[in-house]
Amino acid sequence: MKNILITGGAGFIGSNLTIKLVSLGYNVTILDNLSRQIHEEDSPFHQSVKEISNFIKGDVRNKLDWDKALDGQDAVIHLASETGTGQSMYEIERYNDVNILGTANLLDFLTNKKHTIKKLIIASSRSIYGEGKYFCKNDGVVFPNQREDKNMSKEKFNPLCNICNNELELRATDESSRIHPSSIYGITKQHQEQLMLLIGKILHIPTVALRFQNVYGPSQSLSNPYTGILSIFSTRILNRNDIDVYEDGKESRDFIYIDDAVDATILALEKQEINHQIFNVGSGVPTSIFEVAHILKKLYNSNINIKISGRYRLGDIRHNYADLTKIKSILGFRPKIDLVTGASRFVAWAKTQKVHIDKYEDSIEELKQKGLLK
Last residue of a domain, one of 122, 146, 171: 171
Residue 258 lies in a domain: yes
The C-alpha atoms of residue 13 and residue 28 are separated, in whole angstroms, by 14
pTM (predicted TM-score)? 0.94
Last residue of a domain, one of 119, 150, 171: 171
Decide the pairing of beta strands 134-136 and 169-170: antiparallel
Same domain, 262 and 159: no
Same domain, 192 and 295: yes
Same domain, 207 and 335: yes
* Total number of domains in the chain: 2
Same domain, 320 and 356: yes
Residue 374 lies in a domain: no
pLDDT of residue 85: 86
Last residue of a domain, one of 171, 187, 218: 171
**Which of 355, 239, 366 has its CA nearest to residue 313?**
366
Same domain, 316 and 361: yes
Determine the structural domain holding residue 299 and report its residue range.
Answer: 3-133+172-369
pLDDT of residue 210: 98
Same domain, 167 and 177: no
Residue 93 lies in a domain: yes
Residue 291 lies in a domain: yes
Same domain, 102 and 140: no
Same domain, 123 and 159: no
pLDDT of residue 272: 83
Residue 147 lies in a domain: yes
Residue 191 lies in a domain: yes
Q: How many residues does the chain have?
A: 374
Residue 50 lies in a domain: yes
Per-residue pLDDT of the chain (374 residues; tens, 9 = 90+): 899 999 999 999 999 999 999 999 999 999 998 876 666 655 555 577 878 999 999 999 999 999 999 999 999 999 999 988 888 999 999 999 999 999 999 999 999 999 999 999 999 999 999 999 999 999 999 999 999 999 999 999 999 999 999 999 999 999 999 999 999 999 999 999 999 999 999 999 999 999 999 999 998 888 887 778 999 999 999 999 999 999 999 999 999 999 999 999 999 999 987 889 999 999 999 999 999 999 999 999 999 999 998 999 988 999 999 999 999 999 999 999 999 999 999 999 999 988 888 888 888 888 889 898 98
Same domain, 243 and 219: yes
Same domain, 206 and 156: no
Q: Round to the nearest angstrom and report the end-to-end CA distance of the chain.
A: 50
Same domain, 162 and 241: no
Same domain, 111 and 235: yes
CB 172, CB 323: distance < 8 Å: yes
- What CATH number corresponds to the domain at position 37? 3.40.50.720
Residue 251 lies in a domain: yes
